[in-house]
Structure 1
């Protein structure tokens, strides 16, 4: 099941997008490109797509250390994006998405807020999530923003994007830093007007009408908090889909809505980070 903090099912309710054996063979040889959804749905392809990221150590002023992974685009300098993982932790899925962001022209930093191997079961993910110190996570994300803004190949523009658990933390990053844009995929947005008072970045949110936890009541409450705080630079999109609809490794994947959300996200980052 899915909770406010993450999605806890890897069961497929329908067939995921799938590469043929020949497409898989050619992709692994570097001879063909495949759609991102097909790559993410295949563990072998996702691992291959994300294996080329470089590890970097980011240190907060308080001395907290985080090993993150960065994917570089072909053309530099470039705008930058922080990718924040689901409750599973930093896995091949997120690495592969970071690699795709690099192909789209961004320096993509996949952070690891846990500092531990990713979980493969809901119980494991729940344990990782509950053991994380939110204050330390906030400091790590603040340091990540500074790392990217001051990167020698950066244009100085920084965005954030996250899914489920990471969606909530993408919002938290926008509240705690001076990033230039933030995207939230079905993340916890339960915030008071006082909590959103520090928000200066434009934000985009993607939500599913069938999501029973990150639901319309929560999102409308968030909108009300934004209005009370005088924040107007936001846009939220609703899809006839469930929680985690953009993840092809889960049973709630909706290919059409996932693609539409991706296109909207790319246009949003292009507007605010280019």
Structure 2
């Protein structure tokens, strides 16, 4: 029996009765020349044939329905897998954007927290820059410069830079030009101090003063032998003196 006929319940039930088919009855009448009367079928047999036919039709109809549902479920699962494969990179990109935006907002908040120190540092560096512009006309004096880099406004060849560099807020005042000698680690050291300022805010300068005083009182010396207050007791220098420099050393176990 063809499946399309089973789904429409168009069944050839007479074959289930066991009686002669219509074609056979016509042949008998044609061969004998006498009119053949069909054998009567009892009501019990008709009921039994009807029940068998209905059961057969229901069974084939149910299997067709199950096959159709299985096919639809398979297509839905395949579509869901394709959608998940497409959504995964999109989700990662969204998370990356959120993380980047959060980092930028945190950096801006730190610079705002560090703004009082930065204003003081700009005033300090500008005064030194003006003094350097006057001294440049003297023989052998370098030309002072200003540039932006390493998370700060950088004053280069500035006479207010002291013996090396002074970081106040998001400003760095150098006594020479570390770009000329390519001292990237030294500039990274000072950049770490700017991040300390963004973390401590108004507490940055008092913290530096206390650390410098403690190290000087202990007469701790730098590698060059001078006592400058940058020894191990100065907690503000522990992180920037690391390689690579960072605000402070990481916790144990990291």
Q: TM-score range by the shorter chain?
A: under 0.3
Q: Which has the larger radius of gyration?
A: 2
Structure number with higher relative contact order (C-alpha < 8 Å, ≥ 6 residues apart): 1
The structure with more strand, counted as a fraction of residues: 1
Using the size of structure 1 for normalisation, the TM-score is 0.24
* Bigger proportion of residues as helix: 2
Q: What TM-score, normalized to structure 2?
A: 0.25
